[in-house]
Amino acid sequence: LDAMQLCLEHGADQNWTNEEGDPDWEGGSILYDACENERFDAARLLLEHGADPNCANEIDRTILHIACEHDRVDAARMFLDKGAEVDRTDHYGRTPLCIACDYGHIDAARLLLDEGADVNRANKYG
């Protein structure tokens, strides 16, 4: 984390993606990759340096989807506070609320509903 802090202080791109500049790889961006690996401490640092809280991977899955999948309400709150879209859908039409409910994570679902998530939004398959 100290090395990341140092690099960011010296101009490292907090929204770095692959060489083509798109999220066409498993991690999407360094922020997405940090969240996928449950390094929410690194995510906080990247967000503090202006990383995009709505970054997504190749199927439009965002860091808020990840936090809800892992029932990390603290991380989900941080992402929402930094501007993550509460009803952002992935390629399959799943919102973070859909993910939280699919995994039975009531606390994450409650947070999203408190933040205005659309309880009636259907996914791609209805």
Q: What is the model's pLDDT at position 24?
A: 46
Residue in 94, 33, 18 with CA at minimum distance from that of residue 63: 33
| Domain assignment of residue 119, yes or no | no
Q: What is the model's pLDDT at position 71?
A: 94
| Domain assignment of residue 122, yes or no | no
Q: What is the model's pLDDT at position 15?
A: 60
Which parts of the chain have pLDDT scores under 50? Answer: 23-25
User: C-alpha distances in angstroms, 105 versus 17, 45, 50, 101?
Assistant: 30, 26, 29, 6
Q: What is the model's pLDDT at position 80?
A: 98
CA atoms of 88 and 56, how far apart (whole Å)? 10
| Domain assignment of residue 106, yes or no | yes
| Domain assignment of residue 64, yes or no | yes
| Domain assignment of residue 67, yes or no | yes
DSSP for 55-107, please give it.
Answer: -B-TT--BHHHHHHHTT-HHHHHHHHHTT--TT---TTS--HHHHHHHTT-HH
User: Position 37: which residue type?
Assistant: N
How many domains would you assign to the chain? Answer: 1
| Domain assignment of residue 126, yes or no | no
Q: What is the model's pLDDT at position 22?
A: 54
Angle at 91 between CA 89 and CA 92, to 5 degrees: 85
| Domain assignment of residue 32, yes or no | yes
CATH number, domain at 81? 1.25.40.20
Domain span at 10 = 2-114
| Domain assignment of residue 100, yes or no | yes
pLDDT tens for 91-115 read 999 999 999 999 999 999 999 999 9
Q: What is the model's pLDDT at position 8?
A: 54
Q: What is the model's pLDDT at position 57?
A: 86
